[in-house]
Amino acid sequence: MNGLKITTAFISVYNKNGITELAKELEKCSIKIVSTGGTADHIEKSGINVIRAESITGYPSILGGRVKTLHPKIFGGILSRLNNDSDEKELKKYAIPKIDLVVVDLYPFEQTVRSGGKDDDIIEKIDIGGISLIRAAAKNFEDTVIISHSGQYPELKDILTLKKGETAIDERKKFAAEAFSISSHYDTAIFNYFNSSFQLPVYKESFTDGRQLRYGENPHQKAWFFSDQDSAFEQLHGKEISYNNLLDIDAAVSLIEEFKKNTFAVIKHNNACGVASRGDLTAAWSDALGGDPVSAFGGIIATNSRVDQETAKEINKLFFEIIIAPSYDPAALNILKEKKNRIILLKKELHLPPRHARSVLNGILMQERDLKTETAEDLTVVTTLPPTGRELTDLLFANIIVKHSKSNAIVLAKNEQLVGVGAGQTSRVDALKQAIAKANSLGFDLNGAVMASDAFFPFADSVEIAGNAGITAVIQPGGSVRDNDSINFCNKNNMKMVFTGVRHFKH
């Protein structure tokens, strides 16, 4: 049957917002309303007639409300098929009323978990009756309409007012698809809550708020973003954010979160091309840009500090796509908004997931996020000379940047400024040569600079090249069978070297 006129609605909702108005529209269409518990009480307060579920089932709500709707006289009415003689006979035999509209709003399980609810409260927010009603009505979409969340109320109201309660099969099937999206998402959240204690080798993630992007990495590729974007940042200005923008934003936020002092970072193709930490924010921007002003053109800018008017004036001289900061002075915001398409993001407090996943071949590759950030206490001095205080600060600074650079990666830094980077190279020596060439091309004096490597040096050649370029201190994980070759070169040439014991590959 294609056209279906609604005659009887079963309503069971946790959130009562909007349900009275919906019930009034149902009443106008002479649709009978069956309900239970608090939902029935709420609707009746408006003078709307409600058939209590217990008057149909013969059973009251039991077990403290855990069982209210789980009964054949409810589910039989929802699952019965029209034009099925056997179903019709059984409905008549057992006095089961046909139910052709189900309206459900589930217990707020995810919200309870996020709010830090106690275990007992979280468990009680696992909806049993509601989820069962959704699945039953969605399965029988040919003969039943399922409204599984309050966002669908306006659509149902249009059906009631414009079509006098008659639905088409395509409408019912779409409602069913949305219902199974709701139920599967709900079950995934419950599983992940329980699995947080056991770490079963099962991967389940669910996002219900995806949006299509303009295109993917390239214009011929379609793309989507599945996330609660508003929880990460607020877009204050500019054009729609693209796929590549999101990759760079992720890289920028992950990097800038690591710094405590006023810091600016410029990101291009997921790698930092400029970073500087300073007491003065405008100086931090100037020196971050100075790290590679050519690559900075069209890049992504991130800072961990409030952007003031003076700094905004300097930033505004550069063409860039995006700036992201925790706050902006009103005057600074006005300056940055001068470019119509420039994307301005207000970064919110963000809790990144502890695991990182990516698609590989025909499956998902998962690992723990690299949350290790070395401090001075984590370092082992392996040379005769220890690094000076200035060198130690620069070593830790460079080590953060190299951690967030594509492997093989080498970072050169001096006075808490990125002065050269080689990233994404197939050889560590090539990465170092690239970093030195970049620094030299921009006029940086590498005498007294430091070098960070994301992995150990298999031979002493990289340390030799660095020493000949004027670099005086090196930070690396260590662990090569030839570590002593690098250490011996440093000792002979008054260089300092520290081991972290932690590799930071990033592919």
Mind telling me the catalytic residues?
A: 139, 269
Q: DSSP for 242-298?
A: PHHHHHHHHHHHHHHTT--SSEEEEEETTEEEEEEE-SSHHHHHHHHHHT-HHHHTT
Report the distance separating Cα 401 and Cα 409, nearest Å: 10
**Tokens read off for 483:** 């570590």
Q: Six-digit token pair at 14?
A: 């946790």
Helix pair 483-492, 461-468: axis angle to 10 deg: 20
Of 444, 442, 440, 402, which Cα lies nearest the Cα of 424? 402
491 CB-side CA count, 13 A = 10
Residues 394 and 379 sit within 8 Å (Cβ to Cβ):
no
Q: Which residues pair with 358 in a beta bridge?
A: 365
How remote is the C-alpha of 303 from its chain's centroid? 20
Q: Which among 75, 68, 359 is positioned nearest to 203, based on CA atoms?
A: 359
